[in-house]
Amino acid sequence: MMTHQITLIPGDGIGPEVAAATVRAVDATGAVIEWDPVEAGARALAEQGQLIPDDVFASLEVTRVGLKGPTTTPVGGGHRSINVALRMKLGLYVNFRPIRMLPGLQTRFSDLPLDLAIFRENTEDLYSGLEHEVVPGVVESLKIITEKASTRIARAAFEYARRESRRKVTAIHKANIMKMSDGLFLKCCREVASAFPEIQYNELIVDNACMQLVMRPETFDLLVMPNLYGDIISDLAAGLVGGLGIVPGANLGDHHAIFEAVHGTAPDIAGKGVANPTALMQSAVLMLAHLGEREAAGRLQKAIRHVYEAGEHLTGDVGGKASTTGFTDAVIRHL
Protein backbone atom coordinates (compact mmCIF):
# COMPACT_ATOMS: atom_id res chain seq x y z
CA MET A 1 0.00 0.00 0.00
CA MET A 2 1.43 3.37 -1.04
CA THR A 3 2.26 5.98 1.62
CA HIS A 4 1.41 9.58 0.69
CA GLN A 5 3.06 12.64 2.22
CA ILE A 6 0.68 15.57 2.64
CA THR A 7 1.38 19.10 3.86
CA LEU A 8 -1.29 20.07 6.40
CA ILE A 9 -1.99 23.80 6.87
CA PRO A 10 -4.63 24.05 9.64
CA GLY A 11 -5.14 27.81 9.26
CA ASP A 12 -6.85 30.31 11.55
CA GLY A 13 -10.09 30.49 13.53
CA ILE A 14 -11.99 27.23 13.13
CA GLY A 15 -9.28 25.95 10.79
CA PRO A 16 -7.44 23.77 13.33
CA GLU A 17 -10.75 22.17 14.42
CA VAL A 18 -11.99 21.27 10.95
CA ALA A 19 -8.48 20.20 9.94
CA ALA A 20 -8.20 17.81 12.89
CA ALA A 21 -11.63 16.36 12.11
CA THR A 22 -10.69 15.87 8.45
CA VAL A 23 -7.40 14.19 9.32
CA ARG A 24 -9.33 11.71 11.49
CA ALA A 25 -11.77 10.97 8.66
CA VAL A 26 -9.05 10.58 6.02
CA ASP A 27 -7.02 8.26 8.24
CA ALA A 28 -10.15 6.18 8.85
CA THR A 29 -10.49 5.49 5.11
CA GLY A 30 -7.43 3.26 5.28
CA ALA A 31 -5.34 5.46 3.00
CA VAL A 32 -1.81 5.68 4.39
CA ILE A 33 -0.96 9.34 4.92
CA GLU A 34 2.08 10.94 6.52
CA TRP A 35 0.93 14.40 7.57
CA ASP A 36 3.40 17.28 7.77
CA PRO A 37 1.70 20.07 9.77
CA VAL A 38 2.92 23.62 9.10
CA GLU A 39 1.48 26.99 10.07
CA ALA A 40 0.40 29.82 7.77
CA GLY A 41 -1.82 32.79 8.46
CA ALA A 42 -2.42 35.08 11.42
CA ARG A 43 -1.14 32.49 13.88
CA ALA A 44 2.08 32.04 11.91
CA LEU A 45 2.50 35.83 11.72
CA ALA A 46 2.13 36.15 15.50
CA GLU A 47 4.43 33.24 16.32
CA GLN A 48 7.01 33.35 13.50
CA GLY A 49 6.75 36.84 12.07
CA GLN A 50 5.70 35.57 8.60
CA LEU A 51 2.29 34.92 7.08
CA ILE A 52 3.70 32.07 5.01
CA PRO A 53 6.88 30.85 6.72
CA ASP A 54 9.58 29.25 4.63
CA ASP A 55 8.81 25.80 6.02
CA VAL A 56 5.42 25.87 4.25
CA PHE A 57 7.07 26.02 0.83
CA ALA A 58 9.81 23.62 1.93
CA SER A 59 7.17 21.07 2.91
CA LEU A 60 5.16 21.52 -0.30
CA GLU A 61 8.31 21.13 -2.36
CA VAL A 62 8.64 17.63 -0.90
CA THR A 63 4.99 16.56 -0.71
CA ARG A 64 3.62 18.42 -3.76
CA VAL A 65 0.14 18.15 -2.18
CA GLY A 66 -1.43 20.22 0.60
CA LEU A 67 -4.66 20.21 2.62
CA LYS A 68 -5.47 23.70 3.88
CA GLY A 69 -7.96 25.16 6.31
CA PRO A 70 -9.22 28.78 6.14
CA THR A 71 -6.82 31.66 6.76
CA THR A 72 -7.48 35.29 7.66
CA THR A 73 -7.34 38.00 4.97
CA PRO A 74 -7.90 41.62 6.05
CA VAL A 75 -10.34 43.79 4.05
CA GLY A 76 -9.29 47.12 2.57
CA GLY A 77 -5.68 47.00 3.73
CA GLY A 78 -3.08 44.87 5.47
CA HIS A 79 -1.42 41.79 4.03
CA ARG A 80 -2.16 40.08 0.73
CA SER A 81 -4.41 37.00 0.64
CA ILE A 82 -2.48 33.87 1.60
CA ASN A 83 -4.54 31.86 -0.87
CA VAL A 84 -3.56 34.19 -3.72
CA ALA A 85 0.10 34.13 -2.65
CA LEU A 86 0.19 30.32 -2.60
CA ARG A 87 -1.52 30.07 -6.00
CA MET A 88 0.92 32.52 -7.59
CA LYS A 89 4.04 31.03 -6.03
CA LEU A 90 3.15 27.40 -6.87
CA GLY A 91 1.55 28.01 -10.26
CA LEU A 92 -1.85 26.65 -9.19
CA TYR A 93 -3.65 27.94 -12.25
CA VAL A 94 -6.84 25.85 -11.93
CA ASN A 95 -9.38 26.51 -9.21
CA PHE A 96 -11.86 23.63 -9.35
CA ARG A 97 -15.14 23.73 -7.45
CA PRO A 98 -17.70 20.91 -7.85
CA ILE A 99 -21.22 21.94 -6.82
CA ARG A 100 -23.47 19.06 -5.75
CA MET A 101 -26.40 18.83 -3.37
CA LEU A 102 -26.00 16.67 -0.28
CA PRO A 103 -29.05 14.57 0.64
CA GLY A 104 -31.21 15.88 3.45
CA LEU A 105 -30.21 19.53 3.04
CA GLN A 106 -33.15 21.87 2.62
CA THR A 107 -32.49 24.74 0.22
CA ARG A 108 -34.66 26.39 -2.43
CA PHE A 109 -33.01 24.08 -4.94
CA SER A 110 -33.13 20.78 -3.02
CA ASP A 111 -35.35 19.10 -5.60
CA LEU A 112 -33.14 19.94 -8.59
CA PRO A 113 -30.47 17.57 -9.98
CA LEU A 114 -27.60 20.03 -9.48
CA ASP A 115 -24.19 18.80 -10.57
CA LEU A 116 -22.03 21.71 -11.70
CA ALA A 117 -18.28 21.97 -12.14
CA ILE A 118 -16.59 25.37 -12.05
CA PHE A 119 -13.16 25.99 -13.57
CA ARG A 120 -11.74 29.37 -12.55
CA GLU A 121 -8.43 30.74 -13.83
CA ASN A 122 -6.39 31.24 -10.71
CA THR A 123 -3.28 33.33 -11.38
CA GLU A 124 -4.06 36.60 -13.17
CA ASP A 125 -6.93 38.99 -14.02
CA LEU A 126 -7.47 41.69 -11.35
CA TYR A 127 -5.97 39.31 -8.80
CA SER A 128 -2.53 40.12 -10.17
CA GLY A 129 -2.65 42.89 -7.54
CA LEU A 130 -1.20 45.56 -9.86
CA GLU A 131 -2.66 48.75 -8.39
CA HIS A 132 -1.39 52.29 -8.01
CA GLU A 133 -2.64 55.78 -7.27
CA VAL A 134 -2.58 57.86 -10.47
CA VAL A 135 -3.25 61.13 -8.64
CA PRO A 136 -4.74 61.67 -5.18
CA GLY A 137 -8.26 60.26 -5.23
CA VAL A 138 -7.78 58.23 -8.40
CA VAL A 139 -6.64 54.59 -8.18
CA GLU A 140 -5.93 52.32 -11.14
CA SER A 141 -6.07 48.52 -10.99
CA LEU A 142 -4.75 46.53 -13.96
CA LYS A 143 -6.66 43.55 -15.34
CA ILE A 144 -4.20 41.08 -16.84
CA ILE A 145 -5.47 38.45 -19.30
CA THR A 146 -2.94 36.38 -21.26
CA GLU A 147 -3.26 33.88 -24.06
CA LYS A 148 -1.19 31.33 -22.13
CA ALA A 149 -3.30 31.38 -18.96
CA SER A 150 -6.62 31.54 -20.83
CA THR A 151 -5.70 28.61 -23.07
CA ARG A 152 -4.53 26.36 -20.25
CA ILE A 153 -7.64 26.92 -18.08
CA ALA A 154 -9.85 26.27 -21.12
CA ARG A 155 -7.91 23.12 -21.94
CA ALA A 156 -8.14 21.92 -18.33
CA ALA A 157 -11.92 22.42 -18.41
CA PHE A 158 -12.44 20.59 -21.70
CA GLU A 159 -10.12 17.73 -20.76
CA TYR A 160 -12.07 17.26 -17.53
CA ALA A 161 -15.35 17.41 -19.46
CA ARG A 162 -14.16 14.69 -21.83
CA ARG A 163 -12.77 12.51 -19.03
CA GLU A 164 -15.92 12.79 -16.89
CA SER A 165 -18.39 12.62 -19.81
CA ARG A 166 -19.69 16.14 -19.30
CA ARG A 167 -21.97 17.34 -22.07
CA LYS A 168 -21.51 21.12 -22.15
CA VAL A 169 -18.92 23.80 -21.37
CA THR A 170 -20.01 27.41 -20.86
CA ALA A 171 -17.46 30.24 -21.00
CA ILE A 172 -18.34 33.21 -18.78
CA HIS A 173 -17.18 36.69 -19.86
CA LYS A 174 -17.85 40.42 -20.20
CA ALA A 175 -16.39 40.79 -23.70
CA ASN A 176 -19.20 43.13 -24.71
CA ILE A 177 -17.50 45.76 -22.53
CA MET A 178 -13.92 44.53 -22.06
CA LYS A 179 -13.46 43.68 -25.70
CA MET A 180 -9.69 43.15 -25.64
CA SER A 181 -9.14 41.35 -22.31
CA ASP A 182 -12.27 39.19 -22.14
CA GLY A 183 -12.21 39.04 -25.94
CA LEU A 184 -8.82 37.31 -25.73
CA PHE A 185 -10.18 34.90 -23.12
CA LEU A 186 -13.07 33.96 -25.43
CA LYS A 187 -10.77 33.59 -28.43
CA CYS A 188 -8.69 31.05 -26.47
CA CYS A 189 -11.78 29.17 -25.30
CA ARG A 190 -13.11 28.92 -28.85
CA GLU A 191 -9.81 27.60 -30.15
CA VAL A 192 -9.66 24.92 -27.46
CA ALA A 193 -13.35 24.04 -27.97
CA SER A 194 -12.68 23.28 -31.64
CA ALA A 195 -10.53 20.31 -30.57
CA PHE A 196 -13.43 18.81 -28.56
CA PRO A 197 -16.28 18.56 -31.11
CA GLU A 198 -18.25 16.07 -29.01
CA ILE A 199 -18.71 18.67 -26.24
CA GLN A 200 -21.28 21.43 -26.65
CA TYR A 201 -19.73 24.89 -26.20
CA ASN A 202 -21.54 28.15 -25.49
CA GLU A 203 -20.85 31.57 -23.96
CA LEU A 204 -22.69 33.77 -21.47
CA ILE A 205 -22.10 37.33 -20.29
CA VAL A 206 -21.34 37.18 -16.57
CA ASP A 207 -24.34 39.16 -15.32
CA ASN A 208 -26.73 37.05 -17.39
CA ALA A 209 -24.96 33.91 -16.17
CA CYS A 210 -25.58 34.93 -12.54
CA MET A 211 -29.27 35.46 -13.25
CA GLN A 212 -29.55 32.13 -15.07
CA LEU A 213 -27.78 30.31 -12.22
CA VAL A 214 -30.40 31.56 -9.79
CA MET A 215 -33.37 30.98 -12.10
CA ARG A 216 -32.45 27.64 -13.71
CA PRO A 217 -29.19 26.26 -12.28
CA GLU A 218 -30.01 22.74 -13.50
CA THR A 219 -29.33 23.85 -17.10
CA PHE A 220 -25.59 24.32 -16.41
CA ASP A 221 -22.93 21.63 -16.59
CA LEU A 222 -19.34 22.88 -16.63
CA LEU A 223 -18.40 26.57 -16.44
CA VAL A 224 -15.01 28.12 -17.27
CA MET A 225 -14.09 31.74 -16.56
CA PRO A 226 -11.42 34.28 -15.62
CA ASN A 227 -10.36 34.81 -12.02
CA LEU A 228 -12.70 37.53 -10.70
CA TYR A 229 -15.89 36.13 -12.25
CA GLY A 230 -14.87 32.72 -10.96
CA ASP A 231 -14.51 33.99 -7.41
CA ILE A 232 -18.00 35.48 -7.49
CA ILE A 233 -19.80 32.71 -9.37
CA SER A 234 -18.25 29.85 -7.40
CA ASP A 235 -19.58 31.39 -4.17
CA LEU A 236 -22.96 32.09 -5.77
CA ALA A 237 -23.15 28.46 -6.88
CA ALA A 238 -22.18 27.28 -3.39
CA GLY A 239 -25.24 29.12 -2.11
CA LEU A 240 -27.44 26.90 -4.27
CA VAL A 241 -26.42 23.79 -2.33
CA GLY A 242 -26.16 25.07 1.25
CA GLY A 243 -23.27 27.51 1.37
CA LEU A 244 -19.51 27.66 1.72
CA GLY A 245 -19.52 25.31 4.70
CA ILE A 246 -20.48 22.49 2.32
CA VAL A 247 -18.56 22.77 -0.94
CA PRO A 248 -14.97 21.65 -1.55
CA GLY A 249 -12.21 23.41 -3.46
CA ALA A 250 -9.06 22.36 -5.29
CA ASN A 251 -6.17 24.45 -6.62
CA LEU A 252 -4.23 22.55 -9.24
CA GLY A 253 -1.03 23.19 -11.15
CA ASP A 254 1.42 21.19 -13.20
CA HIS A 255 3.55 20.27 -10.17
CA HIS A 256 1.54 21.06 -7.00
CA ALA A 257 -2.01 20.83 -5.69
CA ILE A 258 -3.67 22.36 -2.63
CA PHE A 259 -7.12 21.29 -1.48
CA GLU A 260 -8.92 23.75 0.76
CA ALA A 261 -12.11 24.75 2.49
CA VAL A 262 -13.27 27.94 0.83
CA HIS A 263 -15.24 29.31 3.78
CA GLY A 264 -13.97 31.88 6.28
CA THR A 265 -12.26 31.45 9.63
CA ALA A 266 -15.49 32.06 11.64
CA PRO A 267 -13.71 33.56 14.69
CA ASP A 268 -17.05 33.90 16.51
CA ILE A 269 -17.31 30.11 16.92
CA ALA A 270 -13.62 29.20 16.98
CA GLY A 271 -12.75 26.93 19.88
CA LYS A 272 -16.37 26.08 20.68
CA GLY A 273 -16.34 22.69 18.98
CA VAL A 274 -19.34 23.39 16.77
CA ALA A 275 -17.69 24.10 13.40
CA ASN A 276 -18.82 22.11 10.36
CA PRO A 277 -15.90 20.20 8.75
CA THR A 278 -17.89 19.13 5.66
CA ALA A 279 -16.18 21.53 3.21
CA LEU A 280 -12.69 20.42 4.19
CA MET A 281 -13.73 16.74 4.31
CA GLN A 282 -15.16 17.01 0.78
CA SER A 283 -11.94 18.76 -0.27
CA ALA A 284 -10.10 15.75 1.14
CA VAL A 285 -12.25 13.54 -1.10
CA LEU A 286 -10.87 15.46 -4.09
CA MET A 287 -7.37 15.14 -2.63
CA LEU A 288 -7.64 11.36 -2.26
CA ALA A 289 -8.85 11.04 -5.85
CA HIS A 290 -5.94 13.22 -6.99
CA LEU A 291 -3.55 10.86 -5.18
CA GLY A 292 -5.03 7.86 -6.98
CA GLU A 293 -6.84 6.65 -3.84
CA ARG A 294 -10.18 6.52 -5.62
CA GLU A 295 -11.67 3.77 -3.47
CA ALA A 296 -10.87 5.71 -0.28
CA ALA A 297 -12.24 8.90 -1.88
CA GLY A 298 -15.48 7.16 -2.82
CA ARG A 299 -15.91 5.66 0.64
CA LEU A 300 -15.38 9.01 2.38
CA GLN A 301 -17.83 10.78 0.05
CA LYS A 302 -20.39 8.03 0.60
CA ALA A 303 -19.97 8.26 4.39
CA ILE A 304 -20.51 12.03 4.36
CA ARG A 305 -23.65 11.59 2.25
CA HIS A 306 -24.96 8.91 4.63
CA VAL A 307 -24.59 11.25 7.62
CA TYR A 308 -26.47 14.00 5.81
CA GLU A 309 -29.15 11.63 4.63
CA ALA A 310 -29.71 10.34 8.18
CA GLY A 311 -29.78 13.90 9.52
CA GLU A 312 -29.05 12.87 13.12
CA HIS A 313 -25.48 14.13 13.53
CA LEU A 314 -25.38 17.41 11.63
CA THR A 315 -23.86 20.63 12.94
CA GLY A 316 -25.87 23.73 13.75
CA ASP A 317 -25.21 25.59 10.50
CA VAL A 318 -27.17 22.95 8.57
CA GLY A 319 -29.99 22.55 11.06
CA GLY A 320 -28.54 19.97 13.46
CA LYS A 321 -27.24 20.02 17.03
CA ALA A 322 -24.09 17.90 16.78
CA SER A 323 -20.60 19.05 17.66
CA THR A 324 -17.66 18.90 15.27
CA THR A 325 -16.57 15.70 17.00
CA GLY A 326 -20.09 14.22 16.89
CA PHE A 327 -20.35 14.77 13.14
CA THR A 328 -16.87 13.35 12.56
CA ASP A 329 -17.57 10.29 14.70
CA ALA A 330 -20.70 9.63 12.63
CA VAL A 331 -18.74 9.85 9.37
CA ILE A 332 -16.12 7.45 10.70
CA ARG A 333 -18.80 4.98 11.85
CA HIS A 334 -20.15 4.90 8.30
CA LEU A 335 -16.64 4.32 6.97
Contact indicator for 51, 306 with CB cutoff of 8 Å? no
pLDDT at position 75 = 47
**Residues 155 and 199 both lie in one domain:** yes
As a whole number of angstroms, the distance between CA 229 and CA 160 comes to 20
Contact indicator for 99, 115 with CB cutoff of 8 Å? yes
pLDDT at position 77 = 46
Whole-number Cα distances in Å, 310 to 241, 245, 246, 303, 304:
17, 18, 16, 11, 10
pLDDT at position 92 = 96
**Residues 142 and 159 both lie in one domain:** yes
Q: What order of strands is seen across the sheet that includes strand 3-9? A: 32-37, 3-9, 65-68, 257-261, 248-252, 94-100, 115-121, 222-225, 168-173, 200-205
Domain end (from 240, 261, 285): 240
**Residues 160 and 148 both lie in one domain:** yes
pLDDT at position 73 = 64
**Residues 114 and 198 both lie in one domain:** yes
**Residues 227 and 252 both lie in one domain:** no
**Residues 228 and 112 both lie in one domain:** yes
Give Cβ neighbours of residue 329 (< 8 Å, ≥ 6 apart).
313
| Residue-wise pLDDT tens digits, 158-169 | 999 999 999 999
**Residues 113 and 211 both lie in one domain:** yes
Instruction: Identify whether 311 is part of a domain.
Output: yes
As a whole number of angstroms, the distance between CA 1 and CA 4 comes to 10
Q: Which of 40-54, 58-72, 266-280 has the lowest mean pLDDT?
A: 40-54
pLDDT at position 83 = 85
What is the three-class DSSP state of 117?
Answer: strand
Which residues are the active-site residues?
Answer: 127, 174, 207, 231
Domain span at residue 36? 1-98+243-335
Stretch 226-249: mean pLDDT, rounded? Answer: 95
**Residues 192 and 75 both lie in one domain:** no
pLDDT at position 48 = 87
**Residues 260 and 300 both lie in one domain:** yes
What is the three-class DSSP state of 331?
Answer: helix
Domain end (from 240, 260, 283): 240
What is the three-class DSSP state of 79?
Answer: coil
DSSP 159: H
pLDDT band at 108 (very low <50, low <70, confident <90, very high): confident
Instruction: Identify whether 103 is part of a domain.
Output: no
Instruction: Identify whether 250 is part of a domain.
Output: yes
Q: Which pTM value belongs to this model?
A: 0.93
As a whole number of angstroms, the distance between CA 95 and CA 87 comes to 9
Average pLDDT, the chain: 94
**Residues 135 and 208 both lie in one domain:** yes
**Residues 55 and 117 both lie in one domain:** no
The CATH number of residue 26's host domain is 3.40.718.10
Q: CB count, 10 Å around CB of 263? A: 26
pLDDT at position 76 = 44
**Residues 235 and 263 both lie in one domain:** no
| Residue-wise pLDDT tens digits, 167-222 | 999 999 999 999 999 999 999 999 999 999 999 999 999 999 999 999 999 999 99
The domain tally of the chain equals 2
